A and B are shown apart, each in its own frame.
Chain A
Amino acid sequence: MKDLPKPDGLVSMMDHMPPKDKGWMDTPVKIRKGMYCYASNPKSVKYLGLPYPREWSPMDDDWKLPENWKEIISEGFRERLERFRSFKIFMDVCVRCGACADKCHFFIGTGDPKNMPVLRAELLRSVYRNDFTTAGKVLGKFAGAREMTLDVLKEWWYYFFQCTECRRCSVFCPYGIDTAEITIMGRELLNLIGLNIDWIATPVANCYRTGNHLGIQPHAFKDMMDFFVDEIEDITGIRLAPSINKKGADILFITPSGDVFADPGTYTCMGYMMLFHYLKEKFGIDITWSTYASEGGNFGFFTSHETMKRLNAKMYAEAKRLGVKWILGGECGHMWRVIHQYMDTLNGPANFLEEPVSPITGTKFENAKSTKVVHIAEFTSDLIQHDKLDLDISRNDHLKVTFHDSCNPARGMGLLDEPRHVIRNVCEHFYEMPPNTIREQTFCCGSGAGLNAGEDMELRMAGGFPRANAVKYVHEKYGVNMMACICAIDRAAFPDLMSYWVPEVDITGIHELVANALILPGEKERSTDLRSEPLPGMEDEADE
C-alpha cells in the first residue's frame, strides 16, 4: 500500500496545460479529429480526370503519394508563379506586419496560431523562399525558408482546408494581399497529387456529370418543384406553373441546388418561384429554370482554375441552348466571386447574350455588362425601388431580422446595400449586428469553401463563433429571432451553428421574406407564412 501514490501526487502527475509552442516551423502539425474533412472518394477524382485517385486517410502515416510528389509540387509551384502575377507578388510582398493575424474567424475561434492568415501563407512562402529565392537558398531558415517535406505537406493540407477563402483578412492587409488566393493556390497544388477532400470532390463530380452538387437528376428536380407548387397553393390558393427548360424564355434563372433540396433554402426557393409567377402575371416576363444548369455553386473553384472553368461553362452553354437574353442568379455565395472576378477571363465575355436590362424597370445592370449574370438581390431591390411589387409587410411582423453579409457577395462583388434595401422594404423589424462584424468586415459562417461537412463539426463551430457571438448580441439586445443571408452554404451551415451557440435564432434567405410579403394577384387571405407557421393574429385560422 505504501507504494501507491497519494491523491495529490496523482493530480500533479497530470499536465493540464498543452505544451507551449516553439517557433512555428518547429511545431509539428498534429492532425486532430473534428478539424478536417474526409479524403476525396477516388471515384469522384477519377470521373473528373484529376490526377492520382486513390483511397487514403489523413490519419494514416502513409498518404500513398506518387513517388515523385516533391517534383510535382515544385513544378506546379513554378508554373503558377509564372502564370499568376498576383501569386508571385503575394509570395514576395508580405512584410509580416501582422495586420491580418487576428482577423481570421478560424484563428479567433480555434486559438490555433497557424490559422493566422500570415502564418497560413507562410506555410507556402517558406517553401517558395527555399526553392525559388536566392536568399532562401543561401540562408535557409534565417531567411524564413524551409524544405518541402512530408510533414510540411501534411501541414499544408491540414491548414489550407481550415480556410474558407472568405477574404476578411485581405480587407486589413495594407498591401492588399488576398490570402484566399494563397489558399486557392495551396489547394490547387495539393490537387496535383490527389489530396482533395470529399465534400469538394464529390459535389464537383456530381455537378460535372448531372448538373448539381447532390447529383439530383432532372426528374427529381422537377418533382421538388411540383412539391413546392403544391405547398404554395396550400398557402396562397394560387397554383403556379413555373417555366422549366423553356426555350425562348426571357431570362434563365440559376441558383444553388441547396435551395431546391435543403431546408431552410427550400423556402427561399418557393420565394423565387412566387416572385417569378408575380412578374409573369403582372408584366408578362418569362423566367425559366433549368434542370441541367441546376447549380449556381461552383466547387471547382475550391479545386483548380481549370475545374472551375469546366463547371462555369455549363451555365453559359445552357443559356445558349435555351436562347435566353441573360441570366439571373440566385442567392449564392462563391458563385458570385466566380462570376464577378473570374468568369470574364475563364469563359467570357458571353457576347452571345444581351447586356442585362430589367424588362420591367429599364434599369441597366452595368456591373453585369460583360458576364450577363445579374444578382437577384439587385434585381428585386430595383423592382422595389420602382414600386413594382405589391407588398404586405405585416406578414413578416413576427420576425425580428438581422442580416449576415455572406462573404463572397459582400467582399467578392461589393453587394452590401441591395439586400438591406430589400429586407427593409419587406420587414418592419430589422436590426444590424455590430459594425465590425458586417458589410466588408463580415465574419464568415465558418463552413464555406467546401468545409460544410459533418466530420469537421468542431472546426465549423469554432470558426463560426465570431459570427454567432454577434448574432447572440442582437438576439439578447433586440430579440432578433431570424438571420437573413444570401448564400446557400450559409443557409445549410447556420442552422447547425445557431443550434450550438444561439438556438433561438433561425435562418432565412431574403426571397423567403419577399414572398411572405408579396401579394400575388388573386390570392386568398393567407393564414401562414411559407413555413406553414401561423401569421401574427392568424393563429386560430392556421389551426383549422
Chain B
Amino acid sequence: MMIEDLLEEKKSDIVERWFDAVIESYPDGTAHFLKNQKDLFANPVGSNIYSGLNALMDCLIKKHDETVIKDFLDPIIRIRAVQTMFSPSQATAFIFDLKKIIRDILKKELKNSETGDKLSSFERKIDDLGLIAFDLFMECREKIFELKANQEKTKVYRAFERAGLIVEIQED
C-alpha cells in the first residue's frame, strides 16, 4: 500500500490531532473558544486554521505544487504573524508537529520497515512545508514593517504636500 493511501485513510484523524496541536499553543481560555466555536465569522482564527490544515494535508497527500500549498498555508501564517504572543519559531512550530502526529497514528503500520522508509521520504515534504512557512512568515512581517513605515510617510508628508506646503522642483 502506498504511504499516500494510508495517510488518506487516516486523514481525518491526523487533521483533528494536528488542529488540536495548533490550538494547544494558545492560552487555555482561548483554546477552548478556538476549538469549539464553529462559525467562520464568529471564530475566524479557529475556522481558518482548521480549513487550512485540512487543505494542506490534502496537498501533501496529492502532491500539489508550491503555489497551491502557499495559498492554503498563507491564511494560517498570516494570522500567527500578528499574534505577538508567539515568537517566530512558536508561530510556525505546528508544521513539524505533523511528523510526530503521523508517526503516532501509524505506529502499527510502521512496524513494517518498508512503510517506515516511505514515511521518511514523505516527511521531506513536511520539511519543505516548514521552509514555505518561513518564507510566508517573513513576507507577512515585511508587510507589517512596510505598513508602519508608510503610515508615517502618508500621515505627515502627504498632508503637507497636498496643502501646498511642500514645493517640489518643477521641470522647465
Contacts and interface: CB of A to CB of B under 8 A. Distances in A.
A500 interface: yes
Contacts of A461: 82, 144
B29 A113 contact: yes
Given A455-B148, A473-B40, A262 B159 contact: yes
Interface stretch (B43-51, B111-119, B120-128): B43-51
B30 interface: yes
Contacts of A437: 41
Q: Which of B29, B78, B79, B149 has the most CB of A within 10 A?
A: B29
Interface residues of A, number: 50
B7 interface: no
Given A17-B24, A21-B28, 7 more contacts: A20-B27, A21-B29, A34-B84, A111-B27, A261-B159, A457-B144, A500-B143
A458 B147 contact: no
A50 B13 CA distance: 60
Contacts of A16: 25, 89-90, 93
27 contacts: A17-B25, A17-B90, A33-B84, A102-B43, A112-B27, A113-B28, A113-B29, A116-B29, A214-B159, A216-B163, A220-B163, A220-B165, A261-B162, A263-B154, A436-B42, A454-B147, A454-B148, A454-B149, A454-B155, A457-B144, A457-B151, A461-B82, A461-B144, A462-B79, A473-B40, A496-B151, A500-B140
Contacts of B41: 434, 436-437, 466, 469-470, 473
A42 B88 CA distance: 35
Nearest to B151: A454
Interface string B67-101: 00000000000110011111001100100000000
Contacts of B45: 108-109, 111, 465
Interface in B134-169: 140, 143-144, 147-149, 151-152, 154-155, 158-159, 162-165
B144 A18 contact: no
Give the dominant DSSP class at A's interface: helix
A476 to B, nearest CB: 12
A415 to B, nearest CB: 22
A113 B27 contact: yes
Interface in B37-63: 37, 39-45, 48
B148 A457 contact: yes
Contacts of A101: 29, 33
A223 interface: yes
B34 interface: yes
Contacts of A499: 143, 147
Contacts of B155: 262, 454
A469 B25 contact: no
A21 B30 CA distance: 10
Nearest to A496: B147
A182 to B, nearest CB: 19
Given A18-B90, A499-B143, A458 B29 contact: no
A110 interface: yes
A90 interface: no
A437 B48 CA distance: 16
Contact of B147 (A107, A436, A470, A500): A500
A500 B78 contact: yes
A223 B144 CA distance: 33
Interface of B: 24-30, 33-34, 37, 39-45, 48, 78-79, 82-86, 89-90, 93, 140, 143-144, 147-149, 151-152, 154-155, 158-159, 162-165
A457 B147 contact: yes
Contact of A501 (B78, B85, B152, B165): B78
A20 B86 CA distance: 12
B164 A227 contact: yes
Contacts of B28: 20-21, 113
Contacts of A216: 159, 163
B129 to A, nearest CB: 15
A35 B29 contact: no
Contact of B48 (A32, A263, A469): A469
Nearest to B24: A17
Given A457-B144, A465-B79, A496-B147, A108 B43 contact: yes
A224 interface: yes
A227 B45 CA distance: 44
Contacts of A224: 162-163
Contact of B86 (A18, A261, A466): A18
B44 A469 contact: yes
Contacts of A116: 29
Nearest to B153: A454
A14 interface: yes
Nearest to B89: A16
Q: Which of A108, A214, A453, A465 has the most CB of B within 10 A?
A: A108
Given A108-B43, A434-B41, A454 B152 contact: yes
A145 B10 CA distance: 49
Nearest to B44: A469
Nearest to B33: A102
A544 B147 CA distance: 34
B151 to A, nearest CB: 3
Nearest to B92: A16
B148 A102 contact: no
A466 B30 contact: no
A466 B44 contact: yes
Q: Which of A214, A266, A469 has the most CB of B within 10 A?
A: A469
Q: Which 5 A-B pairs have the closest CB atoms?
A: A16-B93, A454-B151, A469-B44, A113-B29, A21-B27
Interface string A224-255: 10010000000000000000000000000000
Nearest to B146: A499
Nearest to B36: A102
Nearest to A458: B82
Interface string A99-125: 001100001111111001000000000
B24 A436 contact: no
A112 B42 contact: no
A110 B85 CA distance: 8
Nearest to A228: B162
A226 to B, nearest CB: 9
Q: Which of B39, B144, B162 has the most CB of A within 10 A?
A: B162
A110 B43 CA distance: 12
Nearest to B43: A108
Interface in A256-271: 261-263, 266
A134 B148 CA distance: 48
Nearest to A15: B90
